[in-house]
Chain A
Amino acid sequence: MKNGVILKDLIPFAIWFSSMIIAAILIDVILHLFGIVFIGKYLGYLGTATILFSFMYSLKKRKKINFSTPKILLDYHEYLALSGSILILVHAGIHVNAILPWLAIGMLLINVASGLVGKHLLAQANKTMREKKSDLKHSGMTEEEITKALFWDSTAMDSMKKWREIHLPITYFLGLLSLIHIVSVIFFN
Protein backbone atom coordinates (compact mmCIF):
# COMPACT_ATOMS: atom_id res chain seq x y z
CA MET A 1 0.00 0.00 0.00
CA LYS A 2 2.78 2.38 1.07
CA ASN A 3 4.84 1.41 -1.99
CA GLY A 4 1.77 1.98 -4.20
CA VAL A 5 1.37 5.55 -2.95
CA ILE A 6 5.06 6.26 -3.53
CA LEU A 7 5.09 4.74 -7.02
CA LYS A 8 1.74 5.99 -8.26
CA ASP A 9 1.45 9.34 -6.50
CA LEU A 10 4.69 10.73 -5.16
CA ILE A 11 7.18 9.71 -7.87
CA PRO A 12 5.18 11.10 -10.85
CA PHE A 13 4.63 14.32 -8.87
CA ALA A 14 8.35 14.59 -8.05
CA ILE A 15 9.28 13.88 -11.70
CA TRP A 16 6.98 16.59 -13.08
CA PHE A 17 8.03 19.15 -10.49
CA SER A 18 11.78 18.48 -10.71
CA SER A 19 11.59 18.41 -14.54
CA MET A 20 10.23 21.94 -14.43
CA ILE A 21 13.06 23.12 -12.14
CA ILE A 22 15.74 21.30 -14.21
CA ALA A 23 14.36 22.71 -17.49
CA ALA A 24 14.50 26.24 -16.04
CA ILE A 25 18.08 25.73 -14.82
CA LEU A 26 19.15 24.32 -18.21
CA ILE A 27 17.67 27.26 -20.12
CA ASP A 28 19.35 29.67 -17.68
CA VAL A 29 22.70 27.91 -18.15
CA ILE A 30 22.33 28.14 -21.95
CA LEU A 31 21.52 31.86 -21.74
CA HIS A 32 24.64 32.41 -19.61
CA LEU A 33 26.83 30.27 -21.89
CA PHE A 34 25.85 32.23 -24.99
CA GLY A 35 25.97 35.58 -23.18
CA ILE A 36 22.30 36.30 -23.90
CA VAL A 37 21.08 36.64 -20.33
CA PHE A 38 19.13 39.79 -21.35
CA ILE A 39 16.60 37.44 -23.03
CA GLY A 40 15.53 36.43 -19.50
CA LYS A 41 13.79 39.79 -19.16
CA TYR A 42 11.61 39.07 -22.19
CA LEU A 43 10.93 35.50 -21.03
CA GLY A 44 9.00 37.14 -18.19
CA TYR A 45 6.59 38.67 -20.71
CA LEU A 46 6.38 35.45 -22.69
CA GLY A 47 5.84 33.31 -19.56
CA THR A 48 3.10 35.62 -18.29
CA ALA A 49 1.37 35.58 -21.70
CA THR A 50 1.63 31.78 -21.84
CA ILE A 51 0.08 31.39 -18.39
CA LEU A 52 -2.67 33.89 -19.21
CA PHE A 53 -3.39 31.98 -22.42
CA SER A 54 -3.77 28.77 -20.38
CA PHE A 55 -6.78 30.37 -18.64
CA MET A 56 -8.86 29.68 -21.75
CA TYR A 57 -9.88 26.56 -19.86
CA SER A 58 -11.24 28.62 -16.95
CA LEU A 59 -13.16 30.80 -19.44
CA LYS A 60 -14.61 27.71 -21.09
CA LYS A 61 -15.71 26.28 -17.73
CA ARG A 62 -17.47 29.53 -16.94
CA LYS A 63 -19.04 29.48 -20.43
CA LYS A 64 -17.34 32.75 -21.45
CA ILE A 65 -16.06 31.22 -24.70
CA ASN A 66 -17.79 28.84 -27.10
CA PHE A 67 -15.00 27.22 -29.06
CA SER A 68 -13.13 23.95 -28.32
CA THR A 69 -13.93 21.44 -25.58
CA PRO A 70 -13.11 21.52 -21.83
CA LYS A 71 -11.02 18.35 -22.23
CA ILE A 72 -8.75 19.88 -24.91
CA LEU A 73 -8.50 23.21 -23.10
CA LEU A 74 -7.67 21.42 -19.84
CA ASP A 75 -4.74 19.72 -21.57
CA TYR A 76 -3.61 23.10 -22.89
CA HIS A 77 -4.10 24.60 -19.42
CA GLU A 78 -1.79 22.01 -17.86
CA TYR A 79 1.01 22.23 -20.43
CA LEU A 80 0.85 25.98 -21.05
CA ALA A 81 0.82 26.77 -17.32
CA LEU A 82 3.81 24.49 -16.79
CA SER A 83 5.72 25.94 -19.78
CA GLY A 84 4.90 29.48 -18.68
CA SER A 85 6.12 28.67 -15.17
CA ILE A 86 9.45 27.42 -16.58
CA LEU A 87 9.86 30.70 -18.51
CA ILE A 88 9.01 32.74 -15.40
CA LEU A 89 11.55 30.75 -13.36
CA VAL A 90 14.23 31.50 -15.99
CA HIS A 91 13.14 35.15 -15.93
CA ALA A 92 13.63 35.21 -12.13
CA GLY A 93 16.90 33.27 -12.28
CA ILE A 94 18.56 33.43 -8.89
CA HIS A 95 18.81 37.18 -9.00
CA VAL A 96 15.69 38.00 -7.02
CA ASN A 97 16.45 40.46 -4.24
CA ALA A 98 13.24 42.17 -3.18
CA ILE A 99 10.68 40.33 -1.06
CA LEU A 100 7.75 40.73 -3.49
CA PRO A 101 9.29 38.80 -6.44
CA TRP A 102 10.38 36.07 -4.01
CA LEU A 103 6.80 35.80 -2.76
CA ALA A 104 5.54 35.70 -6.36
CA ILE A 105 8.01 32.92 -7.27
CA GLY A 106 7.12 31.01 -4.09
CA MET A 107 3.43 31.32 -4.97
CA LEU A 108 4.16 30.19 -8.55
CA LEU A 109 5.87 27.02 -7.26
CA ILE A 110 3.01 26.35 -4.83
CA ASN A 111 0.55 26.89 -7.69
CA VAL A 112 2.36 24.41 -9.95
CA ALA A 113 2.48 21.88 -7.11
CA SER A 114 -1.24 22.41 -6.51
CA GLY A 115 -1.93 22.02 -10.25
CA LEU A 116 -0.04 18.71 -10.29
CA VAL A 117 -2.06 17.50 -7.31
CA GLY A 118 -5.26 18.48 -9.18
CA LYS A 119 -4.09 16.62 -12.29
CA HIS A 120 -3.52 13.54 -10.14
CA LEU A 121 -6.89 13.86 -8.35
CA LEU A 122 -8.72 14.22 -11.68
CA ALA A 123 -7.04 11.09 -13.02
CA GLN A 124 -8.00 9.24 -9.83
CA ALA A 125 -11.64 10.49 -10.05
CA ASN A 126 -11.94 9.37 -13.69
CA LYS A 127 -10.49 5.97 -12.79
CA THR A 128 -12.95 5.53 -9.87
CA MET A 129 -15.90 6.48 -12.10
CA ARG A 130 -14.81 4.01 -14.80
CA GLU A 131 -14.50 1.22 -12.24
CA LYS A 132 -17.91 1.99 -10.72
CA LYS A 133 -19.51 2.14 -14.16
CA SER A 134 -18.05 -1.26 -14.98
CA ASP A 135 -19.31 -2.75 -11.67
CA LEU A 136 -22.82 -1.38 -12.24
CA LYS A 137 -22.85 -2.73 -15.80
CA HIS A 138 -22.00 -6.21 -14.50
CA SER A 139 -24.79 -6.02 -11.91
CA GLY A 140 -27.30 -5.81 -14.79
CA MET A 141 -28.28 -2.12 -14.63
CA THR A 142 -29.33 -0.30 -17.80
CA GLU A 143 -27.29 2.58 -19.24
CA GLU A 144 -29.87 5.09 -17.99
CA GLU A 145 -29.80 3.65 -14.46
CA ILE A 146 -26.01 3.69 -14.45
CA THR A 147 -25.91 7.35 -15.51
CA LYS A 148 -28.40 8.20 -12.78
CA ALA A 149 -26.49 6.27 -10.13
CA LEU A 150 -23.16 7.79 -11.06
CA PHE A 151 -24.66 11.29 -11.16
CA TRP A 152 -25.60 11.00 -7.51
CA ASP A 153 -22.30 9.33 -6.58
CA SER A 154 -20.29 12.41 -5.83
CA THR A 155 -17.51 10.90 -3.71
CA ALA A 156 -15.01 11.06 -6.55
CA MET A 157 -15.94 14.60 -7.49
CA ASP A 158 -15.91 15.85 -3.91
CA SER A 159 -12.15 15.66 -3.69
CA MET A 160 -11.89 17.75 -6.91
CA LYS A 161 -14.25 20.35 -5.44
CA LYS A 162 -12.19 20.57 -2.24
CA TRP A 163 -8.98 20.85 -4.27
CA ARG A 164 -10.47 23.68 -6.38
CA GLU A 165 -11.22 25.61 -3.17
CA ILE A 166 -7.49 25.68 -2.50
CA HIS A 167 -6.17 26.00 -6.07
CA LEU A 168 -8.22 29.08 -6.95
CA PRO A 169 -7.08 31.27 -3.98
CA ILE A 170 -3.46 30.25 -4.67
CA THR A 171 -3.91 31.30 -8.30
CA TYR A 172 -5.54 34.54 -7.21
CA PHE A 173 -2.63 35.50 -4.93
CA LEU A 174 -0.11 34.51 -7.58
CA GLY A 175 -1.94 36.85 -9.96
CA LEU A 176 -2.02 39.62 -7.36
CA LEU A 177 1.70 39.40 -6.52
CA SER A 178 2.59 39.19 -10.23
CA LEU A 179 0.44 42.21 -10.99
CA ILE A 180 2.11 44.29 -8.24
CA HIS A 181 5.52 43.20 -9.62
CA ILE A 182 4.54 44.19 -13.18
CA VAL A 183 3.08 47.52 -12.08
CA SER A 184 6.20 48.32 -10.04
CA VAL A 185 8.42 47.50 -13.03
CA ILE A 186 6.34 49.77 -15.28
CA PHE A 187 6.44 52.40 -12.52
CA PHE A 188 10.22 52.44 -12.06
CA ASN A 189 11.67 51.24 -15.36
Chain B
Amino acid sequence: MKQKHIFIIITVIIIGIVIAFPHKMLSPGTLYQAHSDIENKCFACHKIGAGTPNESCISCHKISDISKNNATLKFHKKIENQSCISCHSDHKGLNSKLALNKFDHFLLPEKDRNSCVSCHAQPKNELHNQVSNSCVSCHSTRSWTAIATFNHDLINAKSRNNCISCHQSPKDNFHSSSSTNCLSCHSIKQWKPSTFNHNRFFILDNNHNVSCVTCHKTKDYKTYTCFGCHEHSMNNIREEHLEEGITNFTNCIKCHRSANEHDIRMSESDVRNYINREFKNNEEGDDD
Protein backbone atom coordinates (compact mmCIF):
# COMPACT_ATOMS: atom_id res chain seq x y z
CA MET B 1 0.00 0.00 0.00
CA LYS B 2 2.85 2.31 0.96
CA GLN B 3 4.61 1.45 -2.28
CA LYS B 4 1.45 2.28 -4.23
CA HIS B 5 1.42 5.77 -2.69
CA ILE B 6 5.07 6.32 -3.64
CA PHE B 7 4.23 5.32 -7.22
CA ILE B 8 1.31 7.73 -7.36
CA ILE B 9 3.36 10.60 -5.90
CA ILE B 10 6.23 10.09 -8.38
CA THR B 11 3.74 9.82 -11.27
CA VAL B 12 2.09 13.09 -10.27
CA ILE B 13 5.48 14.77 -9.92
CA ILE B 14 6.57 13.64 -13.42
CA ILE B 15 3.29 14.79 -15.01
CA GLY B 16 3.53 18.05 -13.05
CA ILE B 17 7.07 18.72 -14.35
CA VAL B 18 5.94 18.05 -17.95
CA ILE B 19 3.04 20.49 -17.58
CA ALA B 20 5.16 23.09 -15.80
CA PHE B 21 8.09 22.92 -18.25
CA PRO B 22 6.58 21.69 -21.54
CA HIS B 23 9.21 23.40 -23.66
CA LYS B 24 12.13 21.72 -21.91
CA MET B 25 10.39 18.38 -21.53
CA LEU B 26 8.68 18.02 -24.89
CA SER B 27 10.02 20.44 -27.50
CA PRO B 28 12.04 18.49 -30.06
CA GLY B 29 14.48 21.39 -30.66
CA THR B 30 15.08 25.12 -30.93
CA LEU B 31 13.03 27.07 -33.47
CA TYR B 32 14.94 28.92 -36.15
CA GLN B 33 16.03 32.50 -35.64
CA ALA B 34 13.03 34.19 -37.29
CA HIS B 35 10.65 32.20 -35.10
CA SER B 36 12.47 32.98 -31.83
CA ASP B 37 9.66 35.31 -30.71
CA ILE B 38 7.26 32.33 -30.59
CA GLU B 39 9.83 29.94 -29.05
CA ASN B 40 7.67 29.25 -25.99
CA LYS B 41 4.27 29.72 -27.61
CA CYS B 42 3.60 26.18 -28.81
CA PHE B 43 0.03 26.95 -29.83
CA ALA B 44 1.07 29.72 -32.18
CA CYS B 45 1.68 26.90 -34.67
CA HIS B 46 0.30 23.71 -33.11
CA LYS B 47 -3.39 23.05 -32.72
CA ILE B 48 -4.51 20.35 -30.30
CA GLY B 49 -5.13 17.14 -32.20
CA ALA B 50 -4.72 18.88 -35.56
CA GLY B 51 -0.93 19.08 -35.71
CA THR B 52 0.40 22.13 -37.51
CA PRO B 53 -2.26 23.25 -39.98
CA ASN B 54 -1.35 25.44 -42.96
CA GLU B 55 -3.57 28.18 -41.53
CA SER B 56 -1.08 28.67 -38.70
CA CYS B 57 1.70 29.35 -41.20
CA ILE B 58 -0.39 31.40 -43.61
CA SER B 59 -1.64 33.63 -40.79
CA CYS B 60 1.84 35.19 -40.87
CA HIS B 61 3.37 34.06 -44.19
CA LYS B 62 1.17 34.91 -47.19
CA ILE B 63 2.09 32.89 -50.29
CA SER B 64 2.54 36.11 -52.23
CA ASP B 65 5.04 37.30 -49.57
CA ILE B 66 7.12 34.14 -49.33
CA SER B 67 7.61 33.81 -53.06
CA LYS B 68 10.61 35.95 -53.92
CA ASN B 69 10.18 35.57 -57.65
CA ASN B 70 7.77 34.30 -60.23
CA ALA B 71 9.32 30.81 -60.41
CA THR B 72 9.00 30.31 -56.62
CA LEU B 73 5.42 31.54 -56.70
CA LYS B 74 4.62 29.20 -59.61
CA PHE B 75 6.24 26.32 -57.73
CA HIS B 76 4.27 26.96 -54.52
CA LYS B 77 1.03 27.25 -56.51
CA LYS B 78 1.61 23.68 -57.74
CA ILE B 79 1.71 22.33 -54.19
CA GLU B 80 -0.71 24.68 -52.49
CA ASN B 81 -2.84 21.76 -51.30
CA GLN B 82 0.07 20.17 -49.48
CA SER B 83 0.97 20.70 -45.85
CA CYS B 84 3.60 23.45 -45.36
CA ILE B 85 5.48 21.30 -42.86
CA SER B 86 6.04 18.61 -45.50
CA CYS B 87 8.95 20.80 -46.60
CA HIS B 88 9.31 23.56 -43.99
CA SER B 89 9.66 21.96 -40.61
CA ASP B 90 11.19 23.59 -37.56
CA HIS B 91 12.71 22.75 -34.19
CA LYS B 92 16.03 22.00 -35.91
CA GLY B 93 18.12 24.88 -34.66
CA LEU B 94 18.58 28.56 -35.43
CA ASN B 95 19.67 28.09 -39.05
CA SER B 96 16.53 28.15 -41.20
CA LYS B 97 18.21 25.99 -43.88
CA LEU B 98 18.28 23.08 -41.42
CA ALA B 99 14.51 23.31 -41.15
CA LEU B 100 14.03 22.73 -44.87
CA ASN B 101 13.26 19.06 -45.47
CA LYS B 102 14.42 17.20 -48.55
CA PHE B 103 11.78 17.84 -51.18
CA ASP B 104 9.58 14.82 -51.77
CA HIS B 105 8.60 14.88 -55.45
CA PHE B 106 5.46 12.89 -54.66
CA LEU B 107 4.02 16.11 -53.26
CA LEU B 108 3.75 17.37 -56.83
CA PRO B 109 0.67 16.73 -58.97
CA GLU B 110 1.29 13.79 -61.30
CA LYS B 111 1.39 16.04 -64.36
CA ASP B 112 4.33 18.05 -62.97
CA ARG B 113 6.03 15.03 -61.43
CA ASN B 114 6.52 13.57 -64.88
CA SER B 115 7.71 16.79 -66.40
CA CYS B 116 11.01 17.63 -64.73
CA VAL B 117 11.59 20.68 -66.96
CA SER B 118 8.46 22.32 -65.58
CA CYS B 119 10.65 23.14 -62.54
CA HIS B 120 14.25 22.27 -63.45
CA ALA B 121 16.17 23.84 -66.32
CA GLN B 122 17.75 21.30 -68.66
CA PRO B 123 21.56 21.46 -68.32
CA LYS B 124 23.15 23.18 -71.28
CA ASN B 125 26.12 20.95 -71.95
CA GLU B 126 27.19 18.64 -74.74
CA LEU B 127 26.09 15.47 -73.01
CA HIS B 128 22.58 16.71 -72.30
CA ASN B 129 22.24 18.08 -75.83
CA GLN B 130 22.95 14.61 -77.19
CA VAL B 131 20.58 12.59 -75.04
CA SER B 132 17.13 12.33 -76.37
CA ASN B 133 15.15 10.55 -73.67
CA SER B 134 13.49 11.73 -70.46
CA CYS B 135 15.49 12.79 -67.37
CA VAL B 136 14.31 9.85 -65.25
CA SER B 137 16.17 7.41 -67.49
CA CYS B 138 19.35 8.54 -65.76
CA HIS B 139 18.38 10.64 -62.76
CA SER B 140 16.16 9.85 -59.81
CA THR B 141 14.18 12.20 -57.62
CA ARG B 142 16.33 11.01 -54.71
CA SER B 143 19.45 12.63 -56.03
CA TRP B 144 20.48 14.32 -59.27
CA THR B 145 23.86 12.60 -59.27
CA ALA B 146 22.59 9.15 -58.24
CA ILE B 147 22.82 7.63 -61.68
CA ALA B 148 22.79 3.86 -61.37
CA THR B 149 24.08 2.95 -64.84
CA PHE B 150 24.16 5.37 -67.69
CA ASN B 151 22.44 3.85 -70.67
CA HIS B 152 24.54 4.82 -73.67
CA ASP B 153 21.67 3.94 -75.96
CA LEU B 154 20.06 7.21 -74.89
CA ILE B 155 22.72 9.12 -76.82
CA ASN B 156 21.71 9.80 -80.37
CA ALA B 157 23.24 7.35 -82.83
CA LYS B 158 25.54 9.91 -84.43
CA SER B 159 27.34 10.75 -81.19
CA ARG B 160 27.24 7.32 -79.59
CA ASN B 161 30.60 6.21 -81.02
CA ASN B 162 32.30 9.50 -80.36
CA CYS B 163 33.35 8.78 -76.77
CA ILE B 164 35.54 11.85 -76.34
CA SER B 165 32.55 14.12 -76.84
CA CYS B 166 31.75 13.27 -73.20
CA HIS B 167 34.77 11.38 -71.79
CA GLN B 168 38.26 12.81 -71.54
CA SER B 169 40.91 10.77 -73.31
CA PRO B 170 43.45 9.42 -70.75
CA LYS B 171 46.64 11.46 -70.80
CA ASP B 172 49.17 8.62 -70.62
CA ASN B 173 51.45 7.91 -73.59
CA PHE B 174 49.72 4.69 -74.43
CA HIS B 175 46.35 6.30 -74.95
CA SER B 176 47.62 9.54 -76.45
CA SER B 177 49.51 7.59 -79.11
CA SER B 178 46.50 5.46 -79.90
CA SER B 179 44.38 6.69 -82.74
CA THR B 180 41.93 3.79 -82.75
CA ASN B 181 38.36 4.02 -81.54
CA CYS B 182 37.96 3.60 -77.74
CA LEU B 183 35.35 0.91 -78.33
CA SER B 184 37.93 -1.39 -79.87
CA CYS B 185 39.29 -1.97 -76.35
CA HIS B 186 36.68 -0.58 -73.93
CA SER B 187 33.00 -1.38 -73.66
CA ILE B 188 30.18 1.03 -72.86
CA LYS B 189 29.23 -1.07 -69.86
CA GLN B 190 32.44 -0.34 -67.99
CA TRP B 191 35.78 1.27 -68.65
CA LYS B 192 37.72 -1.54 -66.95
CA PRO B 193 38.71 -4.17 -67.78
CA SER B 194 39.52 -3.15 -71.32
CA THR B 195 39.66 -5.75 -74.04
CA PHE B 196 43.05 -4.60 -75.28
CA ASN B 197 44.49 -7.54 -77.22
CA HIS B 198 48.14 -7.79 -76.24
CA ASN B 199 48.48 -10.93 -78.39
CA ARG B 200 48.46 -8.73 -81.43
CA PHE B 201 51.95 -7.62 -80.35
CA PHE B 202 53.23 -10.45 -78.18
CA ILE B 203 51.49 -13.50 -76.73
CA LEU B 204 51.70 -13.45 -72.93
CA ASP B 205 52.10 -17.12 -72.01
CA ASN B 206 52.48 -18.44 -68.46
CA ASN B 207 56.15 -17.40 -68.28
CA HIS B 208 55.26 -13.90 -69.42
CA ASN B 209 52.24 -13.30 -67.25
CA VAL B 210 53.97 -10.49 -65.35
CA SER B 211 53.19 -6.92 -64.40
CA CYS B 212 53.34 -4.37 -67.24
CA VAL B 213 56.38 -2.56 -65.80
CA THR B 214 58.56 -5.68 -66.17
CA CYS B 215 58.70 -4.97 -69.90
CA HIS B 216 57.30 -1.42 -70.20
CA LYS B 217 59.63 0.66 -68.08
CA THR B 218 58.04 4.00 -68.94
CA LYS B 219 54.46 5.16 -69.44
CA ASP B 220 55.07 4.99 -73.17
CA TYR B 221 53.71 1.53 -73.82
CA LYS B 222 55.15 1.51 -77.31
CA THR B 223 58.60 1.06 -75.81
CA TYR B 224 59.55 -2.15 -74.07
CA THR B 225 62.52 -4.29 -73.19
CA CYS B 226 62.89 -8.07 -73.12
CA PHE B 227 66.07 -7.81 -71.07
CA GLY B 228 64.13 -7.15 -67.87
CA CYS B 229 64.28 -10.79 -66.75
CA HIS B 230 67.16 -13.13 -66.09
CA GLU B 231 66.19 -15.51 -68.91
CA HIS B 232 67.02 -12.92 -71.52
CA SER B 233 70.39 -11.44 -70.69
CA MET B 234 71.86 -9.14 -73.29
CA ASN B 235 74.89 -11.48 -73.74
CA ASN B 236 72.81 -14.61 -74.30
CA ILE B 237 70.58 -12.97 -76.85
CA ARG B 238 73.53 -11.38 -78.63
CA GLU B 239 75.37 -14.71 -78.90
CA GLU B 240 72.33 -16.59 -80.19
CA HIS B 241 71.49 -13.97 -82.79
CA LEU B 242 75.03 -13.32 -83.99
CA GLU B 243 75.32 -17.04 -84.75
CA GLU B 244 72.44 -16.54 -87.17
CA GLY B 245 74.00 -13.39 -88.53
CA ILE B 246 71.37 -11.11 -86.94
CA THR B 247 72.82 -7.98 -85.43
CA ASN B 248 69.59 -6.08 -84.78
CA PHE B 249 68.23 -8.01 -81.81
CA THR B 250 66.82 -5.29 -79.55
CA ASN B 251 63.43 -5.00 -81.23
CA CYS B 252 62.41 -8.58 -80.39
CA ILE B 253 58.73 -8.41 -81.36
CA LYS B 254 59.65 -7.38 -84.89
CA CYS B 255 60.31 -11.13 -85.44
CA HIS B 256 59.05 -12.98 -82.35
CA ARG B 257 55.36 -12.99 -81.62
CA SER B 258 55.56 -15.38 -78.61
CA ALA B 259 58.03 -17.04 -76.25
CA ASN B 260 58.48 -19.86 -78.73
CA GLU B 261 61.70 -18.89 -80.55
CA HIS B 262 60.55 -20.69 -83.70
CA ASP B 263 57.24 -18.85 -83.82
CA ILE B 264 58.46 -16.12 -86.15
CA ARG B 265 56.19 -13.37 -87.39
CA MET B 266 57.73 -13.30 -90.87
CA SER B 267 57.56 -15.94 -93.57
CA GLU B 268 60.64 -18.08 -94.16
CA SER B 269 61.60 -16.12 -97.28
CA ASP B 270 61.20 -12.83 -95.46
CA VAL B 271 63.48 -14.12 -92.70
CA ARG B 272 66.07 -15.16 -95.30
CA ASN B 273 65.88 -11.75 -96.95
CA TYR B 274 66.18 -10.06 -93.59
CA ILE B 275 69.28 -12.06 -92.65
CA ASN B 276 70.85 -11.43 -96.05
CA ARG B 277 70.19 -7.75 -95.67
CA GLU B 278 71.77 -7.84 -92.23
CA PHE B 279 74.88 -9.64 -93.62
CA LYS B 280 75.17 -7.11 -96.40
CA ASN B 281 74.88 -4.20 -93.97
CA ASN B 282 77.52 -5.77 -91.74
CA GLU B 283 79.90 -6.35 -94.67
CA GLU B 284 79.48 -2.75 -95.82
CA GLY B 285 80.15 -1.68 -92.29
CA ASP B 286 83.34 -3.81 -92.16
CA ASP B 287 84.62 -2.23 -95.43
CA ASP B 288 84.37 1.15 -93.80
A-side residues, CB < 8 A to B, are 35, 95, 97-100, 169, 172-173, 176-177, 180, 184, 186-189
Q: How far is the CA of A185 from the CA of B247 in the complex (A)?
A: 92
Residue contact B7 to A169, C-beta cutoff 8 Å = yes
B residues in contact with A98, CB < 8 Å: 24-28
- Cβ–Cβ < 8 Å partners of B28 in chain A: 95, 97-98
A24 to chain B, nearest CB (A): 19
Q: How many residues of B contact A (CB 8 A)?
A: 21
When the two chains form their complex, are residues B51 and A188 in contact, meaning their CB atoms are under 8 A apart?
Answer: yes
Contacts of B7 in A (CB 8 A): 169, 172
User: What 1/0 flags go to B82-110 for Cβ under 8 Å of A?
Assistant: 00000000010000000000100000000
Query: Contacts A97-B91, A99-B24 known; A180 to B15 CB distance under 8 Å?
Result: yes
Q: A35-B142, A98-B24, A100-B25 are in contact. Are A176 and B11 (CB under 8 A)?
A: yes
A59 to B28, CA, bound (A): 35
Contacts A95-B28, A189-B52 aside, 11 further interface pairs with beta carbons under 8 A come to A35-B102, A35-B142, A97-B28, A97-B29, A173-B10, A180-B14, A180-B15, A180-B18, A187-B48, A187-B49, A188-B52
Q: Once bound together, how far apart are the Cα atoms of A59 and B10, in whole Å?
A: 25
Find chain B residues with CB under 8 A from A100 CB: 18, 25-26
Q: Is the C-beta of B42 less than 8 angstroms from some C-beta in chain A?
A: yes
B46 close to A (CB within 8 Å) = yes
Point out the residues of chain B lying under 8 angstroms from A35, CB to CB: 102, 142
- Which of B24, B28, B51, B102 has the most chain A CB within a 10 Å cutoff? B28
Residues of A within 8 A of B51 (CB): 188-189
Q: Give the chain A neighbours of B142 by CB distance below 8 A.
A: 35
Q: Considering only CB atoms, which chain B residue lies closest to A102 in the complex? A: B25
Evaluate contact between A176 and B14: CB separation under 8 angstroms.
yes
Which residue of chain B lies nearest to A188 when distances are taken between CB atoms in the complex? B46
A37 to chain B, nearest CB (A): 9
Interface residues of B in 1-57 (CB under 8 A from A): 7, 10-11, 14-15, 18, 24-29, 42, 46, 48-49, 51-52
**Which chain B positions have C-beta within 8 A of A184?**
18, 26
Chain A nearest CB: distance from B170 CB in Å? 32
Given contacts A35-B142, A180-B15, contact A188 B42 (CB under 8 A): yes
Nearest-neighbour CB distance to chain B for A95, whole angstroms, equals 8
- Could you pull out 24 A-B pairs where Cβ atoms are within 8 angstroms? A35-B102, A95-B28, A97-B91, A98-B24, A98-B25, A99-B24, A99-B25, A100-B18, A100-B25, A169-B7, A172-B7, A173-B14, A176-B11, A177-B14, A180-B15, A184-B18, A184-B26, A187-B46, A187-B48, A188-B26, A188-B46, A188-B51, A188-B52, A189-B51
